[in-house]
Chain A
Amino acid sequence: MSTRRYLISKVLQALLTLVFVLAFNFFLFRGVGDPVTQLLRGHAGITRQSVEQLQRQLGLDLPLPQQFVHYVKETLEGHLGYSYFYNLPVSQVIAGRIWPTVLLIGLSTLASTALGIWIGIRQGWRRGSRYDQGMLGFTLFTYSMPEFWFGLLVIMAFAVGVGPFPALFPTGGYESTGAGYTGFAHVVDVVNHMMLPFFVLTLSYLGQYSLIMRSSLLETLGEDFIVTARAKGVRENRVLYGHAVPNALLPTMTVTILELGFVLSGVITIELIFNWPGLGLLTATAVDARDFPVLQGLFLLFSGSVIVANLVADLLYSYLDPRVRAG
């Protein structure tokens, strides 16, 4: 299949998946329990009149297929409903929280990936060494540990200063409230607040990336062309970085992008415990408040991001691998 056709088919597949997500979202809300009951749960003084009014308001008196079309239209226009809790359009609520999460996830993913790849290469090259085994143990440990618990430990150690640990960082938040920092001082302030959640997120997923890179490199090192390179008299360093790593890096990079789903799940609890005002904290508070429209909107956003990330991974791979590119 030619590259162009491959790319187009991948894009179409992604779109199809998005449509399914939309349908899923829609039918979930309508299907499991009556949305009106959801809304009015816990409220006193419900009359039949108010129920009917609400039903009309939500457009629930229309036939189902029509509701779905209406829903898709609304979504595409950016209307994601109205938040129960904040009394604002969901899109507005979400929009205000995007940047802190992008900042946190972006930087920590960059750090985890870069570190993970570097460590994974060293592990694969020196398989079985103490370094390798030590890192494998570390990875096993971080994999078995809930990120939020690790976060709590970090808070106690470096924000509160329990026992021998020094309190170096603020316990939470995005910036020092009321301090009114601007410009460079503001940036420094935000960075200061971001250090601990950044540290927790980076360390939590570092192991996955190093493991992926390690096995990719090990597999590549077993290939025949590595023998050829050595036979030609190429120096070991160059065999590793000139021949092995470029081949091992390809699948690693794409798998790395696919890890986004896990990082998104992790950021929800991390933002909660660090009171970081992003999408994750929004999710946690929406759960508490049973703010279903917001949860729906967030689910759409999260799923959409992962679908787009997968598409990017596919496109990137096809661009970088000459075998796929030439079609």
Chain B
Amino acid sequence: MAVTYATTPVRSFQPGRWLKANAMSIIVIGLVIFLVFVPISRLLISSFQLGHPAFPDGWTLSNYESAFAAENFYVTLARTFWIAAVGTAISLTLAVMLAWLVERTDMPFRNLAWVIVLIPMAVPGILFAMGWNLLLAPKSGAVNVFLRDMLAGVGLSMEQGPINLYSVGGLIFLDGIRGVTTIFLMVVGSFRMMDPTLEEAARVSKAGRVATFFKVTLPALSPAILAAGMFSFILSMESFEAALAVGLPGGVFVLSTLIYFTTRVQPPPDYGLGAVFGVIFMVIMILLLIGYRRAVRHSERYSTITGKGFRPRIISIGKWRYPAFCLFLAYFVIAVVLPFAILLWVSLMPSYRPPSLDVLHLLTFKNFMTVFADEAILKVIWNTLELMLITATATMILAFFVSWMIVRGHGSGKALLDLLVFIPLAVPGIVIAMALLIAYLSPPLNYLGIYGTIWILVIGLAVSYLPFCTRLMNAAIIQIHKDLEQAAQVSGVTLFRTLIFITLPLLFPAFVAGWIWVAVHSLRAFAIPLMLSGRHNQVFAVMLWEYWEKSMPVACAMGVLLIIALIPLTLVLRRFISQLSRQQG
């Protein structure tokens, strides 16, 4: 079980010595098992149990039977796939087009275009969905109101619509727009690094520009594009915020909202059925991730990227230069400007009014005052900051030790850790949250008293961020020459001190980048806190959601504040990570 290192050699079994020599690996592996394995296995157990997980009434298959018997389940499953597939197709097309324009054409304002694609990361998914809800809700949506007024002018009057966001089409639209940034960031590098001679060879073989793009450029980049597409599809399958804010009012369920509904909304919650949904969801995601890994594995055979430092051929698009940039602006308007503008508008209104000149005189800062005057909100802001600091620090420290063991260790412990930190990647946030909910509500873990405190949120977020953070740290540790650590050990310094005083300072830049990444993500985290928070451990994004139902303008004011706080953080993070990849590259 324990990791054995070249430097901690004890072969004949002496329990005391063994414990002392392996104390660090025992603690770290134990912690990771506690964080990852315990809740997941508790979820599996619950799916076979009758009744409340704290007071089970024996073993059963009935949870599975009722899940598979319900027609609703199959419809939801198919719908989840459909939304993710079509949404990904939209974001893939858009992102590939944008990446090509930024890297390979003479479009103007390319640096600005880069920032435009990045800013949507600063808008949390829940606020993006809320903004579009305000714009396109069938009855009260600002755009719909505007369109109805226009149509009434030509004699068509309707009660609601004409556009219904509370539909599968609405979810596909939101999903498609949200996916663009991720895919863009994944493919833009290969557009930049692609060997230009491939295209030049096509041109001198008498292929036209368009033919070259579709017959050479795209196929040559297809592994990278396919990988990004699959990854984005996996993320879309898990997406929760839009499905909650827009799907639920219209009764359009997907797997993640079905789980939320089953365990948190419907009275009484059915944990057994929820656990079954969670297990099925997990299995689907694991299969998808295995497929993704296989797809990525052979991509280097294409080797379009030779690593030579060349500037790719810039293609002149002539009169299309400005229309091309307008495409970026259009994307920016849809992804950021419109939802932010409507949130801002509503946050300045005493109660919800569609934008119009007639109500301009009602503009007020009252809602922002409410936010800063409400002690409950201030307490939640404090909670959120506390959560952010603890989660970022704890996750990165754990990731540092785990990564060190994965990179430097060997034996069964290394393989086990590698697997354990990979698992959460395959478990949607909503499922992690449900697993923790069940695990910490029932014996023996309920005696820890973690449920209802900030610590259960820390655990949930740490688990779901661990895969990213360990990959970041793995890459950083590989860069550090082993001799630097061994030099400390032969100077009489223990392994633990070596890690703290040599290794950690040396990978400080990567550590900070990971820390900011976790901080940004825990600040805007929604699905996990929504499932796990109660009165005492509420966080900002969840409270915002509560206000959404209670007092929409205050919720909008909170949303505006959150976005304003996240924009600089996101840009700093981006700069940090790109600097890091340049250093390591």
Instruction: Determine if chain A interacts with chain B.
Output: no
Interface residues of chain A, those whose CB is within 8 Å of chain B, are none
Interface residues, chain B, with chain A CB atoms under 8 Å away: none
